[in-house]
Amino acid sequence: MKIDMTARFTLALLLMAVVVKAENPADLKWSAHALQISAQRNNTHAGVPTALSVRPGTSQLAIVGDDHVVRIQDRKTGKLITILETHSDWIKTAKFHPDAQTLLTAGADRKIMIWNAENHHRFDRFATEDRAITDLDIDRSGKWLATVGFSSKLHLYHFKERKRVHTLECPDNDNRTVSFSPDGNSVAVGSRNGTIRLFSTDTGKQLDDFPAHHRWVRDVVFQSDGQKIVSCSEDRTVRCIDLVTKKIETLVSAPAKFYSVVEIAAGKFAVGASDNLIRIIDLADRSETGFLEGHRGTVCCLCVDNGELISGSFDTQIKVWQVEGSWVHARRSENQSNRQLTDSQKGERNNEVASTTFPRVARYRNRFLSVEDQPDAEQAASRFSKLPSNQVPDPKGKSEPSDWLSINNPDSDGRNGNPEAVSSSFPVAPVSGDLILRPLPESLTENLNTEK
């Protein structure tokens, strides 16, 4: 059957217009301001942040990183309030207590330090552990403190009594993340081999383990209703564990390592990655609904407070994003204690679902894919991220796309490179026949039609 050439030409132009116009459809473009981390104490480079924590009820932000100091900064004005110096090595983690009176920090020097959040004087050394500490968490009631690190141990402390209650076995000598459930009854640990283990805080008994990933688990967080865990990993996936059905699902698969995840609204999560983007994920439909662009290095730490998403990056900047639309106020500070809410407020928060929907267009640098009508978004994203080997630069004799994507990443923590090297962008090969065109959703089509 002969096809009218004019019709074919018109169709080709329409498809080209859709692809060009779809270049930035999912960029949420939330307004943001930046806080620059300055060099301290004869350092030639500014410190790279590894953890952030907001003091509940204030605009004070604690920033810790590889330059061994704790910065307390006003996230609204950018004013540096004070610098706390006691640690002798890389500070990996920091958390304000839910009562807003104390700050805890820990890191490679094996010390857990406790600070007076009001006058910023050091209270005391809370504890010293046998190996470097990579993460700590405090449950919302303020009763429990948990730590993990470069050992096979999970340590659980009674905070008020400053007493270690449980030392639990996690059969992996490198555990990077720990997180309490909203009710404080359980604690999750993510390890180097990709396993996520769940323990009872009261008894110390292991409740379950999930083979969620196949490489380092960088961050885990419970959904606000306590029914699911969302995790991110260096295996380039973000996954969800349903604690009721025990089912593990992939939410996002991308050509980037994921480093940090936080819930910004009921069922809505932000994830920071090594391609300098922050992806917004909707747990309800298991999709990436948008992204934030602005950092020039790996987005390695995130926190949320009072309608603001705060991100830290290897580019030595902190960005404070204004969460816009129906997302605002959908989630309180991650440090806010549930006991400070009335039953009515708890119900409102747990049942609140953001009504904003975004076009389902996955974007990986200069490559785009509509997954709105894909029956298997994970498979589509996986196909989308693969390039023919002949398109892959080969400066180090590497030929596989997975290796190529890691060329500019010194190592998992970036500790063998300076901030400039760490913040280098990954090279992007041109796309030829690997572009997958799919029907775009009506919401995007309407936006494109009204765009000038």
Model confidence over 151-189: pLDDT tens digits?
999 999 999 999 999 999 998 889 999 999 999 999 999
Please state whether beta strands 195-200 and 206-211 pair in parallel, antiparallel, or not at all (unpaired). Answer: antiparallel
d(CA 175, CA 151): 7
Based on the number of CB atoms within 10 Å of its own CB, is 121 exposed (0-12), middle (13-18) or buried (19 or more)?
exposed
Q: Is the pLDDT of residue 288 over 60?
A: yes
Per-residue pLDDT band for 5 (boundaries 50, 70, 90) equals: low
How many CB atoms are closer than 10 A to CB 244?
8
| DSSP letters spanning 262-287 | EEEETTEEEEEETTSEEEEEETTTTE
Q: Is the pLDDT of residue 232 over 90?
A: yes
d(CA 301, CA 407): 22
- Are 89 and 69 a contacting pair, CB within 8 Å? no
Per DSSP, the three-state class of 446 is helix
Residue keyed to tokens 């959040």:
117
pLDDT of the residue at 7: 52
Token pair in block for residue 249:
């699902």
d(CA 86, CA 122): 8
Flag whether the pTM goes above 0.85. Answer: no
> Which of these, 6, 11, 63, lies nearest to 40 by C-alpha position?
63
Average pLDDT, the chain: 74
pLDDT of the residue at 176: 94
Domain boundaries, the chain: 16-24+364-450, 32-360
**Dihedrals phi, psi of 446, to nearest 5 degrees:** -65, -40
d(CA 327, CA 28): 12
Token pair in block for residue 44:
């030639």
The domain 32-360 having CATH identifier 3.20.20.80: the answer here is: no
pLDDT of the residue at 291: 94
d(CA 320, CA 310): 5
Q: In sequence order, what are the residues at sequence separation of 6 or more whose Cβ sits closer than 8 angstroms to the Cβ of residue 29? A: none
**Dihedrals phi, psi of 95, to nearest 5 degrees:** -145, 130
| AA identity, residue 285 | D
pLDDT of the residue at 44: 62
pLDDT of the residue at 42: 63
- Are 105 and 113 a contacting pair, CB within 8 Å? yes
- Are 365 and 275 a contacting pair, CB within 8 Å? yes
Per DSSP, the three-state class of 250 is strand
Report the alpha-carbon angle 279-108-319, nearest 5: 30
Q: Is the pLDDT of residue 330 over 90?
A: no
> Which of these, 159, 224, 162, 148, lies nearest to 190 by C-alpha position?
148
| DSSP letters spanning 229-242 | EEEEETTSEEEEEE
Higher model confidence: residue 10 or residue 310? 310
d(CA 442, CA 450): 12
Q: Is the pLDDT of residue 418 over 50?
A: no
Q: Is the pLDDT of residue 110 over 60?
A: yes
